[in-house]
């Protein structure tokens, strides 16, 4: 079965901001700021193409290891971007959701995430999940703890229901920009059957043509989920 031409759920590891800035002799923060603009444009482009859910990796559990000034600048960029952009997102029908451990974030950051979620909760053109203070291992452990607390039997289904992405489902396509070929603790469980696409483009330079190239690559993949080609419903193209 050839995958439907447009993935319903795209996830992106937005990587390469620091290198983009360094190439221009700018501070790394300039790359992160540019990255916010690119995210806005990418979300719009996804909605226009019929993507229903976009999940992006904005700050990992491991990114706390960066220099304190970079970490605090990333927090500021998030708060400022939310205060500037929420009205526009609301107009465009984007539902913003934050995924990740809220503990560990300052009161100010937590409040800004909560407000943005509340403001956009009733939107339904595109769901934009922003993984912030997120790690795939955290997600699985957190789900296991929540499940254990209920006393329910532990199965793949019951554990999946406790994952932070449960309402969005698993990503069909995971894109990583910036040339590295690793997941860096992103959506480990949910990536089990995602199609992976690695782009050498640095995130601040990622444009519609790059997005279309990723979607096109996705459309040409055969998603077999363990079966053989012959078992799949008619495909239209040979594997
Ligand atoms: C991704 O860009 C953004 C975050 C991890 C917050 P990087 O900051 O990792 O950029 P590179 O990989 O150093 O170029
Ligand atoms: C992954 O990028 C995290 C985000 C994009 C938020 P990193 O730049 O932190 O990943 P590593 O350290 O190169 O694996
Ligand atoms: Mg990086």
CB burial of 198-235 (b: ≥16 within 10 Å; e: otherwise) equals bbebbbbbbeeebbeebbebbbebeeeeeeeeeeeeee
Ligand 1 center from residue 37 Cα (angstroms): 15
| Interval between CA 155 and ligand 3 midpoint (Å) | 34
Answer yes or no: is 230 within a domain.
no
Residue whose CB lies within 8 A of the most ligand 2 atoms, among 12, 35, 133, 184, for a mutation test? 184
User: What residues make up the domain containing 101?
Assistant: 9-222
Residue 207 backbone phi and psi in degrees, to 5: -120, -175
For the residues 22-29, what does the mean pLDDT come to?
98
8, 33, 46: which is closest to 207 by C-alpha? 46
As a whole number of angstroms, the distance between CA 142 and CA 67 comes to 27
Options 15, 139, 172, 210, the catalytic residue: 15
Domain CATH for 99 = 3.40.1180.10
Residue 79 lies in a domain: yes
Ligand 2 within 6 A of 179 CB? no
**Domain assignment present for 32:** yes
Number of domains in the chain: 1
63 given a catalytic annotation: yes
17 Cβ inside 6 Å of ligand 1: yes
74 in contact with ligand 1, CB cutoff 6 A:
yes
- Binning pLDDT at 50, 70 and 90, where does residue 163 land? very high
User: Is a pLDDT exceeding 90 seen at residue 227?
Assistant: yes
In this structure, the residue with its CA closest to atom 3 of ligand 1 is: 15
- 74 lies in a domain? yes
Mean pLDDT of the chain: 96
Is 23 among the domain residues?
A: yes
- The answer to which of 34-43, 130-139, 209-218, 227-236 has the lowest mean pLDDT is 227-236
Q: Average pLDDT of 90-109?
A: 97
123 is catalytic: no
The answer to whether residue 25 is domain-embedded is yes
């Amino acid at each position: 079965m050839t995958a439907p031409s447009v993935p319903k759920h795209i996830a992106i590891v937005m990587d390469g901001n620091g290198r983009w800035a360094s190439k221009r002799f700018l501070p790394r923060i300039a790359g992160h700021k540019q990255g916010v603009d690119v995210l806005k444009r990418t979300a719009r482009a996804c909605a226009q193409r019929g993507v229903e859910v976009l999940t992006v990796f904005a700050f990992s559990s491991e990114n706390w290891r960066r220099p304190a000034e970079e970490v605090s600048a990333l927090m500021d960029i998030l708060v400022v971007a939310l205060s500037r952009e929420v009205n526009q997102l609301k107009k465009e029908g984007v539902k913003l959701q934050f995924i990740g451990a809220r503990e560990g974030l300052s009161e100010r950051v937590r409040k800004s995430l909560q407000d943005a979620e509340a403001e956009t909760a009733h939107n339904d053109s595109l769901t934009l999940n922003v993984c912030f203070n997120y790690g795939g291992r955290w997600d699985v452990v957190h789900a296991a703890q929540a499940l254990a607390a209920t006393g329910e039997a532990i199965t793949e289904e019951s554990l999946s229901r406790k994952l932070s992405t449960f309402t969005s489902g698993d990503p069909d396509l995971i894109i990583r920009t910036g040339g590295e070929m690793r997941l860096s603790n992103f959506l480990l469980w949910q990536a089990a059957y995602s199609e992976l696409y690695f782009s050498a483009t640095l995130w601040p330079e990622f444009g519609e043509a790059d997005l279309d190239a990723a979607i096109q690559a996705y459309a040409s993949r055969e998603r077999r989920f363990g079966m053989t080609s012959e078992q799949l419903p008619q495909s239209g193209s040979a594997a």
